[in-house]
């Protein structure tokens, strides 16, 4: 990963290009937004507090790369990221998730990221502690209980000079080497591990909001005594189970919480999808029925996007500098149908282009995680090699594009269905009909044979995801 200190907008776009085809305008805008966050953190004066992120509104049909751009951006920046769907929220007072839950989800992600970093720092110490626990199960430590044997001349015998404790320690060191080398991974031992806490908590009397419920659950769990249970597992399993526990013991959770809150506040990203679903209809005569609730959700979102303090179980987080990326197809509603205050909080608007047949071909061939490469890896796990001719990839792109035009345009997601239909028989025949070390080549003729009949059939309901 590129050091964020040198993460220029061009470098960000170059990283995004490895996974996302086209959409250069969107990539450019998100790259500037990400670099601006780094710039703000390095502003020396009090102006640092005043600089707010330029939130982005992405407009484009489904499957053109809106979510993928945001997700990859967060990975490049090693930033906490959460995706929510605006249509899942409901106005305060109705049944459904409240808008503050997305901020709490972001903090949870931030805590996970910080914990992973801290665990990597204490990994060596944690591994040594795990080895000691396993050694205690294999060879319990002993105290010296052997009586000294003295010769008639008054000297202690050479063989008897070593105490039981020293012999025990020497044996433990030999076994420590065996544990590290994996030589005795299959041997079973009995260990004590912490039993998981029960998550369910019933409500008594009136209902309470989500934040209060989380805080109450957390408080009660901390009050309950920690229970442990004995399990008989292999040494290999014991290493994994105990490493998590021992790492957690070496981490200062108060420090983790403080760092996580700061990380979420300064580098966090929230992707709000389907924002067009909460926009009022632009048709005349609208403004009643569901539209009232939609506007209520927008007004609930507004303080979060503007900047407010949200209570989480890890502490209070301010949302002033969180980067919000909203997205929607806007087929029926228009961005101007959002309430003016919310529109003003998304000053950067990017229209993503519909994917062409050439884009489909590039998506199949170029990205590091291309679907074709995923299938090559899947089939390669059975020691069967899979290859595609260039003409085959062009034909797959043509067919997927044609189906999108004929039925419903679901963008690059169409490739998943087409590729699955194309390779299902091959996946089914391995390993009985297609043995290990075989080579399968996908040609243009094979693609036409397996998919052209479906293209000619106007009833393509099975391709609608």
Is omega for the bond preceding 431 within 30 degrees of 0, making it cis? yes
Q: What are the tokens at 126?
A: 């944690």
Half-sphere exposure for 252 (CA within 13 Å, toward CB): 4
Alpha helices (runs of H) in 122-226, residue ranges in sequence order? 123-138, 164-181, 210-223
Strands 228-234 and 188-194, sheet pairing: antiparallel
**Cα torsion through 414, 416, 419, 423, rounded to 10:** -150
Q: Is 268 annotated as a binding residue?
A: no
Q: Is 21 annotated as a binding residue?
A: yes
Q: Is 67 annotated as a binding residue?
A: yes
Q: Is 366 annotated as a binding residue?
A: no
CA distances from 461 to 441, 456, 458, 464 (A): 29, 13, 9, 5
CA distances from 39 to 8, 42, 293, 377, 459 (A): 10, 5, 39, 40, 53
Q: Is 273 annotated as a binding residue?
A: yes
Q: Is 50 annotated as a binding residue?
A: no
- Residue 277 near residue 328 (C-beta atoms within 8 A): yes
CA distance 409 to 331: 12
Helix (H, G, I), strand (E, B) or coil at 208: coil
CA distance 51 to 369: 36
**How buried is residue 15: exposed, middle or buried, by Cβ count under 10 Å (0-12/13-18/19+)?**
buried
Q: Is 155 annotated as a binding residue?
A: no
Q: Is 64 annotated as a binding residue?
A: yes
Write out the binding residues. 21, 63-68, 273, 341, 413
Write out the binding residues for ATP. 21, 63-68, 273, 341, 413
């Amino acid at each position: 990963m590129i050091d964020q200190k040198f993460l220029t907008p061009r470098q960000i776009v170059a990283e995004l290009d490895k996974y996302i085809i086209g959409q250069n305008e969107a990539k450019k805008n998100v790259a500037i937004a990400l670099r601006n966050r780094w710039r703000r953190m390095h502003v020396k004066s009090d102006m640092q507090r005043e600089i707010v992120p330029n939130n982005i509104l992405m407009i484009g049909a489904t499957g053109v790369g809106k979510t993928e751009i945001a997700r990859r951006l967060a990975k490049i920046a090693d930033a906490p990221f959460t995706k929510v769907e605006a249509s899942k929220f409901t106005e305060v007072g109705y049944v459904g998730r409240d808008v503050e839950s997305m901020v709490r989800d972001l903090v949870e992600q931030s805590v996970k990221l910080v914990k992973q970093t801290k665990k990597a720092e204490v990994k060596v110490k944690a591994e040594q502690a795990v080895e000691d626990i396993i050694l205690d199960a294999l060879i319990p430590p002993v105290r010296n209980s052997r009586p000294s044997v003295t010769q008639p001349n008054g000297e202690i015998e050479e063989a008897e000079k070593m105490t039981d404790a020293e012999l025990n320690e020497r044996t433990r060191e030999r076994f420590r080497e065996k544990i590290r080398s994996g030589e005795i991974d299959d041997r079973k031992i009995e260990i004590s591990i912490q039993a998981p806490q029960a998550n369910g908590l019933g409500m008594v009397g009136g209902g309470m909001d989500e934040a209060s419920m989380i805080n109450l659950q957390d408080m009660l769990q901390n009050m309950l005594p920690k229970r442990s249970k004995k399990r008989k597992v292999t040494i290999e399993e014991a290493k994994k189970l105990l490493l998590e526990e021992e790492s957690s013991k070496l981490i200062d959770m108060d420090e983790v919480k403080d760092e996580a809150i700061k990380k979420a506040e300064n580098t966090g990203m929230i992707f709000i999808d389907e924002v067009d679903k909460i926009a009022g209809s632009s048709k005349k005569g609208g403004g009643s029925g569901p539209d009232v609730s939609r506007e209520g959700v927008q007004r609930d979102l507004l303080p979060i996007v503007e900047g407010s303090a949200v209570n989480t179980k890890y502490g209070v987080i301010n949302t002033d500098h969180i980067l919000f990326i909203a997205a929607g197809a806007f087929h029926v509603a228009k961005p101007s149908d959002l309430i003016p205050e919310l529109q003003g909080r998304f000053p950067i608007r990017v229209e993503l282009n519909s994917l062409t047949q050439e884009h489909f071909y590039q998506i199949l061939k170029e990205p590091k995680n291309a679907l074709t490469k995923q299938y090559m890896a899947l089939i390669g796990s059975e020691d069967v090699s899979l290859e595609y001719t260039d003409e085959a990839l062009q034909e797959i792109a043509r067919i997927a594009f044609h189906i999108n035009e004929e039925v419903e345009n679901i963008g690059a997601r169409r490739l998943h269905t087409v590729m699955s239909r194309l390779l299902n028989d091959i996946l089914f025949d391995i390993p009985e009909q297609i043995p290990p070390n075989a080579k399968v080549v996908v040609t243009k003729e094979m693609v036409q044979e397996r998919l052209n009949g479906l293209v000619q059939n106007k009833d393509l309901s099975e391709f609608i995801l």
